[in-house]
Amino acid sequence: MSLALRLPSPPVLVITDRYQAQRPLEEIAAALFDGGCRWLSLREKDLPVPERRALLQRFAALAREFGATVTVHDDLDAAAALGLGVHLPAHGSIVEARRALGAKALIGISAHDAAEVVNAAATSADYATLSPIFLTQSKPGYGPALGLDALSGPWKLPVLALGGVDGENAAACLEAGAAGVAVMGEAMRAASPKDFMAGLLAHLPERLAGRSGLVP
């Protein structure tokens, strides 16, 4: 069985960042979904809870129109209330999240080195993002860039390449061993989020971009 069976298809995670966004997040989300995005995570951790919850509800409503998945970064209460999955920071507890959200919830975690990926697998995370693979404007203080070799594994859970990923290097991330990719600033800063998303998917192998979301 593929390690990536639990991931949305295509296995491309778009993470929000309103500080880099060129337009309102809800407008960006709609454009990304229209361009083929099927997995979006709300990361706005510093938004007041009522605002974040309301925005997440609007995202979820938009996603239903496209059969897409919405998750939230580091907000177990919101995930539990709305029946969504969650993405945790590197120090987050997968065990606690699984207890709160149940066996079927999509739960991922951030990793910045191989040891953190191994730990994520040991605690039964569904996936881990590994970053930064390339230099990125989103988090210039994170680094140095890990490079493609960091994706080689072998891993016991799906790993998504994050950090400087775009249409020019996404396929190389998959070839290096990633189960999928994650993007943030590149999507938020895009003049046309719809075109950015469609262009990114066009550079992925057909078996990933078009249908199954399975690891090769």
What is the C-alpha radius of gyration for the chain, rounded to an integer number of angstroms? 16
Give mean pLDDT, residues 94-115: 96
* Whole-number pLDDT of residue 150: 96
Give the chain's domains with CATH numbers: 12-211 (3.20.20.70)
- What is the pLDDT, as a whole number, of residue 216? 31
- The model's pLDDT over 126-136, given as tens digits with 9 standing for 90+, comes to 999 999 999 87
Mean pLDDT is lowest, of 8-17, 55-64, 72-81, 139-148, for: 139-148
- pTM score, whole prediction: 0.92
Question: Rounded to an integer, what distance in angstroms lies between the CA atom of residue 207 and that of residue 68?
Answer: 18
What Å distances lie between residue 126 and 7, 72, 129, 146, CA to CA? 8, 14, 11, 22
